[in-house]
Amino acid sequence: MDEFSFIDSIKQRSYKQSSLLKGIGDDAAVFRQTSEDIVTAVDTFVEGIHFSRDTMQAFHIGYRALAANISDLAAMGATPAFYLTSLVKPESWHVQEVEGIFIGMKELANSYGMDLIGGDTVSGKQLTISITVIGYVPGGKARYRSVAQKDDIVFVTGTLGDSRAGLHLLTENNSYEHTEFFIQRHRTPTPRVEFAKSLSKLSRIALNDISDGIANEAAEIAEASNVGILLYDESIPISPFYTQFSLKQQQEWKYFGGEDFELMGTVSAQEWPFVVQAAENTHTKISEIGIVTERSENSNVFMMKNNKKQRLNKCGYTHFK
């Protein structure tokens, strides 16, 4: 199969977004937007760095890669509309397998009414997939991480550490319970789009999605807003069967595991009830996990455990050392 038949095989037969004027098939896609702000992001996934065929099938690779991108849109409060994919295919990958990646993306895209409107296909040494997403947000309502203020409530959706636990289950052959739950959290995560969208009435809310672990996301909010963040260790939400892992693993994964694609945010105590209501309306678990403080000199994220305050250092994967 050549590149052209491949593109034809992944091409949608019809499009869902009414703003689209031209999808796949010309030099570029065209859409028209007059009233809302446009939000866009790109993420790249490289085999061996971001995923492995040992723990993920092609379907999961596509599904999770798009989920990570949609999660960025959710963290801006945006409604997903389009995606474009740039693919580098090595010879060791069969076309059918690559199509599996696109089927995984499509499965998730369909649930948001998103259209695949373009991309690029080339051959190369390592399977790499780069996804660009485009979404809409009501004018002036994009949610920035730079708006946190002292005394804000810090909250998080869902439970943390599950995705990393899922990866552990896929790579270690120990006997654990409820493995399916953790594996599903790892392979097919659900970005918190509906919850974030339903916050559009709030006057001020800082949001960040949890791709690198809450310790890093908290530091990003703190730095961008020039504040400090204090987290209460006992309040960090974990799933019912998370306690089967060692205490060390639990601790490490919930702060640094990442890829849960939950949302972390800060909001004034005054508007907190609206956040709780939005969570209820969208059937989203939500937990208050800390408070925004003044920025301190040496570090900006702390954790309170057994009445002792300790520094939470940034740690996680860095690509450029």
Single-letter code of the amino acid located at 143: R
Is 116 an interacting residue with respect to ligand ADP (CB under 6 A)? yes
For residues 138 and 246, what is the distance between their CA atoms, to the nearest angstrom?
A: 45
Q: Closest distance between ligand ADP and the C-beta of residue 44, in Å?
A: 13
For residues 281 and 200, what is the distance between their CA atoms, to the nearest angstrom?
A: 13
Q: Which stretch binds ligand ADP (CB under 6 A): 12-20, 24-32, 208-216, 309-317?
A: 24-32
Residue 211 has which token pair?
Answer: 């791709």
Pick the closer one to ligand ADP by CB: 4 or 320.
4
Residue 91 contact partner, candidates Mg ion, ligand ADP, none, CB within 5 to 8 A by sort of partner:
none
Q: How many residues bind ligand ADP (CB under 6 A)?
A: 13
Cα 299 from chain centre = 25
Is 11 an interacting residue with respect to Mg ion (CB under 5 A)? no
| Beta strand segments in the chain, E | 20-22, 30-31, 37-46, 79-89, 115-123, 128-137, 153-157, 206-209, 228-232, 263-267, 286-293, 301-305, 308-311
DSSP codes, 113-170: T-EEEEEEEEE-SS-EEEEEEEEEE-TT----GGG--TTPEEEEES-SSHHHHHHHHH
Residues 109-138 that bind Mg ion (CB under 5 A): 120
- Angle CA 196–199–203, to nearest 5: 130
From candidates 2, 5, 21, 26, binder to ligand ADP by CB under 6 A? 26
From candidates 9, 25, 226, 285, binder to ligand ADP by CB under 6 A? 25
Q: Closest distance between ligand ADP and the C-beta of residue 8, in Å?
A: 9
Residue 121 contact partner, candidates Mg ion, ligand ADP, none, CB within 5 to 8 A by sort of partner:
ligand ADP
From candidates 14, 18, 27, 32, binder to ligand ADP by CB under 6 A? 27
Residues 50-109 that bind ligand ADP (CB under 6 A): 85, 87
Pick the closer one to Mg ion by CB: 120 or 280.
120
Binding site for ligand ADP (CB under 6 A): 7, 10, 24-27, 85, 87, 116, 118-121
